[in-house]
Amino acid sequence: MTGTGGGPVEVELRLPAWARGVPRLRYGLTAAALLLVAASLVLKGWLLSRSYFTEDDIVFAGRAVTEPFGWAHLLRVHIGHLMPGGLALVRALTAISPYDWGLVSAVVLVLSAAASLALYRLLRLLFGPRPMILVPLAFFLFSPAAFQATAWFAAAVNILPLHIAMLMAMCSQVLLIRTGRPRHAVAGLAWTCAGLLFFEKAVLIPPVLFLLTVVLLAGERGVLGAARRHLGLWLVHAAVAGAYLAAYLTASGRSGGQGVIPPDFYTAVDYAGTFLGGTVPTLLAGGPLTWGPVTSAGALAGHRPVEIAVAWLALAAVVAGTCRARRAAVPAWLLAGGYLLVADGLLIMIARGGSWRAFESRYIADALPLLAVCLALALMPWRGAARDTEAVRRGAAGSTADPVASGPEAVPAVPRVSAAPAVESVPAVRAGSGPEAVPAVPDGGAPTLPVYAVPAVCAYVALALVSASVFGPTLPGRTGRAYFDAARADLAALGPETGVYPGLVPERMMFPWQPLPDRLTSRALAPLATGALRERIIHPGVAYDAVTFDDRGHLVPAAVLGGFVTGKDGGCLPWRGGAVTADLAVREGNVVRLHYRVPRDTRVTVTAGERRTEVTLRADRERVHLVTPPAPGPVRVTLPDGSRPDVARRDVSRPDVSRPEGSRPEGSRSDGGGESGVCLRAVVVGAAVPENPEGAVSDGAG
C-alpha cells in the first residue's frame, strides 16, 4: 500500500490470543523433536522386545531377594561398578514384580525419554529454537552405540541415569554462565552426585563441565580467563570427586576387587587399534551393518574393513567441513576426541582388559551426550551471555516477547502483517564464543536447515535402522524368556515335599566369570517364588525326592555328580564308633545324598565342618538329600547316642570322582544290616544335575 507521500505504509494487525497460540507456529520445532524422540522410543521398544534378563540382571535380582537390604548390599562393588542407586532401583522393581521384563522395559523407556528431553532442553539453551538442533538430537537418539546399553538392563541402569545427570548438569552450567546465579551451581553439583549413585563414570562430569565452559568462553575471555571463571565451583567439584574416589576405593577393597591390572604393550596396542580404529568410527557413522560374534547380552560390533573405511571417510568429511566453516568447531572436536580417547579408550582398556572387549558397543554409550553437544557446537554458534543483554535492550525499546519454556529466550508475541516486502526484523544476537551472530528464530519460524542436513539425517537414521535390524535378533529374548517361563510354571506346580536343589544357570545366560553363588539357581531363580517356596529354593532342607533345573528351565529328577564312598562290592559301609566317615569335601552348592536301607525310621546326624543336620532315614525310602555349607571334609554320619548296628565290618573303597554316583559295577550286591538293620550303602557329595537330558525318571540309585 502506498501513502499520500508515495512511501510504503505498514499496517499492524493485533491478532487474538488464539491466533497467536497456533501450535504449528509456536511449537513446530518442539513437535518435530518430540516426533524424533517418539520414533527412537519405538526403535528401543522393539530392541527391548527382543531382549530379556541376562548376566548381571540375574545377579542383581538374585541378590535382591537373598541379601538383607542395607549399606553392605548397596555399596558392594560389582565387577568395578559402584552403583547404590542402580541396586536400589533393581531391588524396588524386584519387590514390585520379580523378573517382569515388561516393567523393566517401561522403566528403560522412561529413562531414555528423560535423557532425550534433557538433551533437547540443553540444545535449546545453547542455540535457541533453531531447526538445526534436530541434527545432533537425531544423532543421539538413533546411535547404534546405545543399542546394547538400552537392551541390556544392567547396562541401562548405569548409562541412562548418567546421560540424564550429565545433560542436566550441563544445562545448569550453561545457565550459570548466562546468569551467574549460585542456584545453578548447586543444581550442577546435585546432578553430579545423582549420577555418581548409578555409575562411577559420573566422576568425569566435573571435568566435562570445566572443559565445556572453557570451550564456550574461550573466544570471549581467552582460555585462561575461561578456566579461572567459577574457580570456587571447580574446587568444590574436585572435593566431591576426591571424596567419591576415596569411598570407591574403600568399597572396592571390602568387596574383594582385584584392582587395576594394566594390559601388556601388545594387548594395549591391539585394543586401541580395534576400539579407536574400528569400533568407534563405525558406531558413530550409523553402523555397523554386520554384528558378531554373539554373546549372552547381544552381538559384538563385527565391523568389516569396508565399513571402517566408509565410516572414517564420513567422519573426516564432517570434521573437516565444520572446521573449515567455523573455527569454533576445532575445540569442540578436541573435547569430543579427548573424552573418547581417555574415558572410553584408556580407562576401559585398563579396567577391563582383553582385546575382545574392544568390540563392545556399550563402552562408548556414555559419551553420546557430550558427542551430541560437540557436534552441535561444531555446526552452530552458541547463544552466549550477551543474549541476555540484547534481550534487555530490545525490551527497553518496546519489544513485547514471551519467554520460551526452555530458558531465557524471547520470541515475538505480536505478529506483524506488513504490505511492504517482508524484512527480517529480529536483531542479530552476538554469540559469546566469538563474533558470529545468531538470529533468534521463533519456534516454528522459517526453516534455516542447510540443504545437506535433511539428507544426512535421513541417511544416518536409515543406516541405524538397518544396523538395529541385524543386532536385534542376536539379543537373548527368546531363549531367556522360555527359560524363566518354564521355571516359573514348574515352581508353581511343585509338590510340598519335593526338595529343589541348586544347579547352574546355563552358560548362554551367565558366563562362568560370574561368582559361583550368583550362578546357582538357588539364588538366581529365587525371585520367581514367594514365601515358604522361596525359602525352600534358597535354603533347601532335607528331602527324599529331589529335583533340579535343567538347561530349559524345567524341574527334573536330580542326580548328584561328584565324589562318593560306597561299601565294598555294593554292600554296606562299616560303622566305627557309631559313625560312618566319608573323606569328601563339600563345595558351594553341593548336595549330600545318602543311600541306605533300614527296617524302621531311624534318626542320624550328618556333620560337615561346623554344620550338624538331623536327618530321618525313613523305612519306606532308600535315599535322602540335604545341603550343607562348604567344608573341606570329611562328612560324618552318626547314629544317636553312639549306638552301633551289628553289621559286618567291611573295608571302605576309595572315594571315586570319575563317575556319577549310583552307577554300580556289574554284578555288585547289597548286604543287609545286622540286628539293628541300618545299612548305609553310599555317601555322595557333588552337584545336582538332571538325572538324564530328557528328564525321564530313573529307577537307579543315581
Residues 212-248 have pLDDT tens digits of 999 999 877 778 888 888 899 999 999 999 999 999 9
Would you say 623 and 497 are in contact if contact means Cβ atoms under 8 Å apart?
no
Residue 415 has pLDDT above 70, yes or no: no
Q: Are residues 685 and 579 in the same domain?
A: yes
* Dihedral sign (CA 177, 180, 181, 182): positive
Count of C-beta atoms within a 10 Å radius of residue 298 = 26
407: left (phi over 0), alpha (psi -120 to 50) or beta: left
Low-confidence winner among 104-108, 352-356, 534-538, 666-670 (lowest mean pLDDT) = 666-670
Same domain, 142 and 218: yes
Task: Select from 533, 547, 633 the least CA-distant residue to 583.
Answer: 633
Last residue of a domain, one of 431, 447, 474: 474
User: Tens digit of pLDDT for each residue in 527-558?
Assistant: 999 999 999 999 998 999 999 999 999 999 99
User: What domain range is 608 assigned to?
Assistant: 540-690
Q: Which residue has the higher pLDDT, 146 or 390?
A: 146
Q: H-helix or E-strand containing 623? A: strand 623-626
- Is 7 part of any domain? no
User: Is position 73 within any domain?
Assistant: no
Q: Could you give the dihedral angle defined by the CA atoms of residues 136, 141, 147 and 148, in that order, rounded to the nearest 10 degrees?
A: 80
In the chain, % of residues over pLDDT 90: 54
Average pLDDT rounded to a whole number, residues 119-127? 96
Tell me, yes or no, whether 551 and 636 share the same domain.
yes
- Of 446, 474, 502, which one is at a domain's C-terminal end? 474
- End-to-end CA, the chain: 103
**What's the rounded Cα separation, in Å, for the pair 59 and 551?**
18
Confidence of residue 694 (pLDDT cuts 50, 70, 90): low
Identify the DSSP state of 475.
S
User: Is the confidence at residue 416, as pLDDT, over 60?
Assistant: no
26 has a pLDDT exceeding 80: no
| Among the listed residues 168, 216, 158, the one whose alpha carbon sits nearest the alpha carbon of residue 189 | 168
Are residues 265 and 145 part of one domain? yes
Q: How many domains would you assign to the chain? A: 2
**Burial degree of 646 (CB within 10 A; 0-12, 13-18, 19+):** exposed
Q: What is the CATH number of the domain that holds 598?
A: 2.60.120
Domain boundary at 474, 500, 517, which? 474
Cβ(77)–Cβ(252) below 8 Å: yes
Rounded to a whole number, what is the largest CA-CA distance in the chain?
135
The reported pLDDT for the residue numbered 166 is 97
Mean pLDDT of 643-662: 42
Dist CA 59 CA 62 (whole Å): 5
Same domain, residue pair 232 and 350: yes
The answer to whether residues 451 and 438 touch, using CB atoms and an 8 Å cutoff, is no
* Residue at 640 is within a domain: yes
The SS3 of residue 337 is: helix
**Is 280 domain-assigned?**
yes
Is the alpha carbon torsion for 39, 41, 44, 45 positive or negative? negative
Q: Is a pLDDT exceeding 50 seen at residue 414?
A: no
Taking only the tens place, the pLDDT of each residue in 43-54 is 999 999 999 999
Residues 462 and 555 placed together within one structural domain of the fold: no
Residue 284 and residue 142 share a domain: yes
Average pLDDT of span 252-256 = 74
Q: Same domain, yes or no, for 561 and 462? A: no
424 lies in some domain:
no
* Predicted confidence (pLDDT) per residue in 483-497, tens digit: 999 999 999 999 888
321 and 176 share one domain: yes
Task: For residues 662 and 567, state if they share a domain.
Answer: yes
In a domain, 115, yes or no: yes
Mean pLDDT of the chain: 82
Residues 191 and 314 in one domain: yes
CA–CA separation, 526 and 536 (whole Å): 9
Residue 371 pLDDT: 96
d(C-alpha 660, C-alpha 675), whole Å: 31
**pLDDT of 394 higher than 80:** no
In a domain, 467, yes or no: yes
Are 150 and 278 in a shared domain? yes
Classify residue 488: in a domain, yes or no.
no
